[in-house]
Amino acid sequence: MSPKGNFRREKKEFFEKVAQVDRVTRVVKGGRRFRFRAAVVIGDRKGRVGFGVNKGSDVAEAVKYAAKKAKKSLVRIPLTNFSIPHQVEGKFKGSRVLLKPAPEGRGIIAGGGVRIVVDLLGVKNVLAKILGSTNKLNSIQATLIALGTLRSKEDVFKMRGKEKFSRTIGPSRATESAMRDRSAGKKVEKKVSKKNKEPEAKPEEKPQAEMKTGGKSPVKGGSARFMQQARQASGEKKEQKK
């Protein structure tokens, strides 16, 4: 069998980009010596990135040794949903870089060396601004310094001596809303039941006058007695006069 059928291209562990190549000179006793300086950024697009600068007699040699240096200087950066956890700022010499997290679908809003670093790191949504000098090498260094100050939620809680991360203290928003719905439903049921309930028949109360007089009308009974007493009193007065 030909080796072509069994050939499989291996996936690259790291991706590299040449940020800048310059020709530099060095004055020696015999005259000037020309060399090349290469700046290479390397990353796995999964949260690791590195940067290296090296010189060589030709461009290929300079890039090769710069990539080796970049591999040695790899750092791991915490990411959340293909973006950075929070806003950071880094400064290197005259360059100052500001990085802000962006929502999903926004993309990489950055330029120059910042875009190269962020792309190879694996960030897909970020906002970046270069303040001050736009020198590519300085902006790359400032970006790496800014990314080095990032902290995930887990790291912050470990530093504070807490094991687990709790977003809210007490019941969550879902449970709170469910409890509100239940209480509202109970209130509605109570109102409906109160409206549908028929008023209970109260026992008939006898008037106080009937209870005192034993069922007889107080007006008639009282007037008859009063008339009898008046007649008796008038009869007694007549007898006394006689």
Question: For residue 207, is it within any domain?
Answer: no
Distances from the Cα of 80 to the Cα of 75, 140, 144, angstroms:
16, 21, 17
Taking only the tens place, the pLDDT of each residue in 191-238 is: 556 556 555 555 555 555 444 455 544 444 556 777 777 778 777 766
Which CATH number fits the domain that encloses residue 37?
Answer: 3.30.160.20
**Residue 54 is encoded by which pair of tokens?**
């090296």
DSSP assignment, residue 51? E
Mark which of 105, 126, 159 sits at the end of a domain: 159
Residue 32: pLDDT band by 50, 70, 90 thresholds? very high
| Cα gap 152→159, rounded to integer Å | 11
Question: For 142-191, how does the pLDDT look when each residue is reduced to its tens digit (9 = 90+)?
Answer: 999 999 999 988 888 888 887 665 554 455 566 666 777 777 766 656 55
Tokens of 103: 């929502």
Task: Say if 153 falls within a structural domain.
Answer: yes
Is 146 contained in some domain? Answer: yes
1, pLDDT greater than 50: no
Domain presence at residue 107: yes
pLDDT per residue as tens digits for the range 64-81: 999 999 999 999 999 998
Domain region containing 115: 88-159
Counting the structural domains of the chain, the total is: 2
0.75 exceeded by pTM? no
DSSP structure class, residue 150:
-
Q: In this prediction, what percent of the chain has a pLDDT beyond 70?
A: 70
CATH of the domain at 102: 3.30.230.10
Q: Last residue of a domain, which of 143, 159, 175?
A: 159
